[in-house]
Amino acid sequence: MTPEQLADRVLSWYAAHGRDLPWRHTRDPYAILVSEVMLQQTQVDRVIERWTAWLERWPTAADLAAATRADVIAAWQGLGYNRRAVALHEAARMLAEQGIPQDQAGWRALPGVGPYTAAAICALALDHDVVPIDVNVQRILERALGATTIEPPTGKGHDLTQALFDVGATLCLARIPRCEACPLASDCPSRGQRYEPQRKQSRFEGSRRQARGQLLDRLRQAPIRFVDCDAEIAALLIKDGLAERRGSMLTLPQ
């Protein structure tokens, strides 16, 4: 199968079976940025309501830039990878001050925006003909083409990106793909194959990760006396901009 055929079939499938997600109703770069940062390592179902509420509370980059960091961190509760909240807040300040970047390099200059997110924003908000490669898109391309990138047909970068996300999320699953429903199956060399998990995740119970999360949750409720917390864990939060020491107290920043 050629890349052109793949794009064709995925786009046809998407027209009939694509998901209707709230951030697909906007082209506002700030709103797309919020969705992409939330979606980094976080599943769609958990992001939908949080994105909607976030955009209601802070509709523009200037609105988010004007918020306190403490409020932004508090609003991130439950989304995980809390550094993203600090990065997004700082990114909003840069957007409010410097305007909207028009290319991937410009977006890469924002904290929390790496190669994937920069490409995604350019494809989805700026309508550039690029396809961001995340693990899901990479999986589809490797299985179907033996390739790691794809050049979208002119004018189709935006739709092909959304279409590949949906194929990856609903059909070309990591372990057990649903080839019987996949528009690529008839010409996919990997059709019918199963895959073993390769990633082993360390235990969460009793981990430093858990301790971090618990301390941050306490800070979200109220400042605490420094002596009442594990200094090593507090130092980790401070290093990431998630907490600060004020006298004898540990608080959310600002």
Partner DNA sequence: ATCCTGTGGC
Partner DNA sequence: GCCACGGGAT
And the tokens for 214? 């618990």
Of residues 25, 175, 194, 221, which one binds DNA by CB under 7 A? Answer: 175
**Helix, strand, or coil (residue 214):** helix
Distances (CA, A) of 186 to 12, 82, 139, 143, 190: 15, 43, 17, 13, 10
Q: How far is the CB of 71 from DNA (least distance, A)?
A: 17
Q: How far is the CB of 137 from DNA (least distance, A)?
A: 8
Could you identify the residue written with the tokens 């401070």?
Answer: 238
Q: Which residues are catalytic?
A: 36
Backbone angles phi, psi at 163, to 5 degrees: -65, -45
The residue (of 124 and 185) whose beta carbon lies closer to DNA is 124
Of residues 1, 44, 70, 96, which one binds DNA by CB under 7 A? Answer: 44
Question: b/e for 214-234, b at 16 or more Cβ within 10 A?
Answer: ebbeebeeebbeeeebeeebb
| CA-based nearest residue to 217, from 21, 73, 40 | 73
Residue span binding DNA (CB under 7 A) among the ranges 8-16, 25-33, 57-65, 169-177 = 169-177
Q: How far is the CB of 154 from DNA (least distance, A)?
A: 23
Q: Does 116 bind DNA (CB under 7 A)?
A: yes
The overall longest dimension of the chain from CA atoms, in Å, is 66
Could you identify the residue written with the tokens 């994937």?
Answer: 116
The full DSSP string for 17-45 is H----GGGG---HHHHHHHHHHHTTS-HH
Of residues 11, 87, 171, 229, which one binds DNA by CB under 7 A? Answer: 87
Q: How far is the CB of 20 from DNA (least distance, A)?
A: 11
Q: Does 221 bind DNA (CB under 7 A)?
A: no
**Residue 245 to residue 223: CA distance in whole angstroms:** 10
Of residues 1, 21, 62, 224, which one binds DNA by CB under 7 A? Answer: 21
Q: Does 212 bind DNA (CB under 7 A)?
A: yes
Q: Does 22 bind DNA (CB under 7 A)?
A: no
Residue span binding DNA (CB under 7 A) among the ranges 56-64, 96-104, 115-123, 223-231 = 115-123
Of residues 59, 99, 114, 155, which one binds DNA by CB under 7 A? Answer: 114
Q: Does 39 bind DNA (CB under 7 A)?
A: yes
Q: Which residues bind DNA (CB under 7 A)?
A: 21, 36, 39-46, 77-83, 87, 111-118, 120, 134-136, 165, 168-169, 173-175, 196-204, 207-210, 212-214, 216-217, 236
